[in-house]
Amino acid sequence: MKALKNVSIYIALIVGVILLAVLINGVTSAPEMSYNKFVTELIENDNVKKVSVDGNTALVELKEALNNKTLYRVKFYSQDVFESLVLEAESAGKTFDYVADITEVPFIVTLIPYILMAGIVIFFILFMMGQSQGANAKVMNFGKSRARLYTTSKIKFADVAGADEEKEEMAELVSFLKNPKKYADMGARIPKGVLMVGPPGTGKTYLAKAVAGEAEVPFFAISGSDFVEMYVGVGAARVRDLFEQAKKNAPCLIFIDEIDAVGRHRGSGLGGGHDEREQTLNQLLVEMDGFAGKEGIIIIAATNRPDILDPALTRPGRFDRKIVVNVPTLKARDEILKVHARNKPISEDVSLLEVAKITPGFTPADLENLLNEAALLAAREDLDKIEMRHIKEATFRVVVGPEKKSNVMTEKDKRLTAIHETGHAIAVKVASSTDTVDRVSIIPAGYAGGYTAHKPSEDKTYATEKQMIENIIVALGGRAAEELCLGEVSTGASSDLKSANGIAHNMVTKYGMSKKLTNMVFDNEGNEVFIGRSFGSTRNYSEDTAAIIDEEVKTIIDSAYTKVKEILTENMDKLNRIADVLMEKEKIEGEEFEALMAE
Ligand code: ADP
Ligand code: ZN
């Protein structure tokens, strides 16, 4: 690692000198125009006479003066993107001259020897490093470390299928990006950071792009994992750079994929050596606090692991909104398949709804991949249409593809999950005095195979002993149902057990709610069992007391388990019936659940 630091200093020096030279040269007297404004002038108003590119700046001459001036400078991030924009405008019939590189700047030419020399030095150093570690990857990474990020997205909400709830939540972001000033003038609380939570391939990036596309603002994308393998200090510098660029191009959207790579809880992880990541994270927090929101910048971050994020990230004013992106339901899968089948020749005998039915657990990315594989299979047979058998074969390929296996449920898993979740739901219905069932689902979400959502019918500040016991009963409902219906229990209940035990432990040690230790508190901060920080904390009670605590916890758990088995046994026919419906529909909303219970 020492060598790395040294290298980064050299590189920083060399790059610094070159940048300085370019900067000094690049300053002209023309005022700056925002990228957005330029796009409007170029495409909508057709008011551009000449564009001359010089590095990452373009000199723009207007046909009609704007604020009494006809000459402006426009900064941009990537030459490629800029050029494709210009070419697009040209092919759309806009008339202007385009000079790809200003020839009357000999200074650039004089720089070439220096750049060459610097290149040789860098290459040499990296080559030396390569003796001990995978340098090839490093060389390539370094090469692409700048220039990218900036694109304009063509994806619209209409291209996003089956994510109605997510789209609804994002509609507000679009309207804000379209007109940040309106919101600011109204004194409305302006969204700044949004956290998108969901497993890989569920369309987090796609949705973020759709927001940018729908609002017609620039889309900056960067991945958290890009930062962590960076040389020291570079990660933080890139964050700074990113925000600087974003501010210049506001309104715009910044998308940070895999935020957990930088946003991991600070001070966690054994063995240290994380100061680079922490620097990057701190810089990100500083930048987020540094703008008011009225600039019209929205940051969307995506993660599959919200649980390991540093709490500082989710504080108000930072990523204080959360949008959960779920694996699609049957209906959504049908719609997504339709979107991706649009440009593929599909035989009349194929029903996409049937395909949707045989693909529970598939993410949008899986579905796209599925149709692609099917097309390949059909092409291999020299057919001109994709048939159902190709799709079936492709399903198999996607399922057994090594990484996807865990996403997709077998029929047996599906039944187990359905029984388990129905067990929770019936426990809520019968045992809970405060909660009602909101939704029961067997579509995998995050690390869980399914979920049962329930919410209290009124706000409550204190939990009574009775309610805490009810919560334990509900948590144990899943495992009890498995035991009663299938005669065996699975690992699927491990987080349920953890939370049931956590509640019981708190009842005994924090709230004095047990027979033998009534009104006694054994509070040391380590007692938050389910957060898992009890490691290393000290006890303030004896071994004997500890044994009594364990005993009392066990009594609470056992009696709750007996109770929930009673409840489920009494409702056995309903349990089976609802599990069947759940297997077929994959998701049951609260009202329907109530109706099934009332039958
Ligand atoms: P993530 O960022 O969550 O890993 P992506 O956004 O990269 O997932 O999605 C992968 C692909 O799945 C996208 O390229 C897109 O083609 C497809 N996709 C995702 N969501 C949808 C959707 N709602 N409708 C249609 N296609 C989608
Ligand atoms: Zn459960």
Instruction: DSSP for 146-193, please give it.
Output: SS-SEEE----GGG--S-HHHHHHHHHHHHHHH-HHHHHHTTPPPP-E
* Residue 497 CA, ligand 2 centroid: distance in Å: 8
Atom of ligand 1 nearest to the CA of 365: 12
* Residue 445 CA, ligand 2 centroid: distance in Å: 12
Which of 99-108, 251-260, 533-542 has the highest mean predicted lDDT (pLDDT)? 251-260
421 assigned to active site: yes
Place of tokens 């039958």: 599
Detail the DSSP E strand segments found in 335-389: none
Atom of ligand 1 nearest to the CA of 325: 3
- For 241, phi then psi, to 5°, come to -60, -45
Q: What is the pLDDT of residue 307?
A: 79
Question: Ligand 1 atom 5: the closest Cα is on which residue?
Answer: 203
pTM of the model: 0.52
Q: Which of 214, 421, 470, 482 is catalytic?
A: 421
Q: What's the CA gap between 62 and 54, in Å, rounded?
A: 17
Contact indicator for 439, 448 with CB cutoff of 8 Å: no
Ligand lying closest to the C-alpha of residue 481: 2
Alpha-helical (H) ranges within 179-257 are: 180-185, 204-215, 224-228, 234-248
User: How many other CB atoms sit within 10 Å of the CB of residue 301?
Assistant: 28
Atom of ligand 1 nearest to the CA of 202: 3
Contact indicator for 86, 43 with CB cutoff of 8 Å: no
Is a pLDDT exceeding 80 seen at residue 384? Answer: yes
Which of these ranges, 84-93, 525-534, 563-572, has the smallest mean pLDDT?
525-534
588 DSSP β-pair partners: 440
Q: What's the CA gap between 450 and 447, in Å, rounded?
A: 9
SS3 451: strand
Contact indicator for 301, 312 with CB cutoff of 8 Å: no
Q: What's the CA gap between 74 and 35, in Å, rounded?
A: 6
At residue 428's C-alpha, the angle toward residues 426 and 432, to 5°, is 135
What dihedral do alpha carbons 288, 293, 298, 303 form, nearest 10°?
40
Q: Is the peptide bond before 360 cis (omega within 30 degrees of 0)?
A: no
* Residue 478 CA, ligand 2 centroid: distance in Å: 5
Question: What is the token pair recorded at 173?
Answer: 């972001």
Atom of ligand 1 nearest to the CA of 198: 3
Which residues are near ligand 1 (CB < 6 Å)? 160-163, 198, 200-206, 302, 336, 339, 364-365, 368
β-strand pairing of 97-99 with 150-152: unpaired
β-strand pairing of 97-99 with 48-54: parallel
- Name every residue whose Cβ is closer than 8 Å to that of residue 137 and which is 6 or more positions away in sequence: none
* Residue 164 CA, ligand 1 centroid: distance in Å: 14
* Residue 286 CA, ligand 2 centroid: distance in Å: 39
Q: What is the pLDDT of residue 346?
A: 92
Written as one string, the DSSP assignment of 462-509 is S--HHHHHHHHHHHHHHHHHHHHHHSS--GGGHHHHHHHHHHHHHHHH
Mean pLDDT of 261-285: 70
Question: What is the token pair recorded at 123?
Answer: 């290459």
Q: Where residue 581 falls among pLDDT bands split at 50, 70, 90?
A: very high
Ligand lying closest to the C-alpha of residue 162: 1
* Residue 492 CA, ligand 2 centroid: distance in Å: 7
Radius of gyration (C-alpha) of the chain in whole angstroms = 29
Question: What is the token pair recorded at 554?
Answer: 């066990």
- The secondary structure element, H or E, covering residue 284 is helix 275-289
Q: At what angle do helices 411-431 and 465-486 cross, to 10 degrees?
A: 150
Q: What is the pLDDT of residue 5?
A: 58
Q: What is the pLDDT of residue 272?
A: 47
Question: What is the token pair recorded at 411?
Answer: 């029929």
Place of tokens 């508190």: 521
pLDDT tens per residue, range 5-54: 566 677 777 777 677 656 555 445 688 888 888 888 887 888 888 888 87
User: How many other CB atoms sit within 10 Å of the CB of residue 23?
Assistant: 10
Atom of ligand 1 nearest to the CA of 161: 24
* Mutation to probe ligand 1, out of 153, 204, 206 (largest number of atoms < 8 A from CB): 206
Which of these ranges, 222-236, 427-441, 470-484, has the smallest mean pLDDT?
222-236
Ligand lying closest to the C-alpha of residue 494: 2
Is a pLDDT exceeding 60 seen at residue 267? Answer: no
Ligand lying closest to the C-alpha of residue 447: 2
- Name every residue whose Cβ is closer than 8 Å to that of residue 126 and which is 6 or more positions away in sequence: 7, 135, 138, 139, 142
Written as one string, the DSSP assignment of 409-450 is --HHHHHHHHHHHHHHHHHHHHH-SSEEEEEEE-S-BTTBS-
- For 227, phi then psi, to 5°, come to -75, -40
Contact indicator for 546, 538 with CB cutoff of 8 Å: no
SS3 516: coil
Atom of ligand 1 nearest to the CA of 339: 25
- The secondary structure element, H or E, covering residue 344 is none
Q: What's the CA gap between 476 and 489, in Å, rounded?
A: 12
Q: What is the pLDDT of residue 338?
A: 93
Q: What is the pLDDT of residue 231?
A: 62
Question: What is the token pair recorded at 451?
Answer: 């979920």
- Name every residue whose Cβ is closer than 8 Å to that of residue 412 and which is 6 or more positions away in sequence: none
* Residue 204 CA, ligand 1 centroid: distance in Å: 7
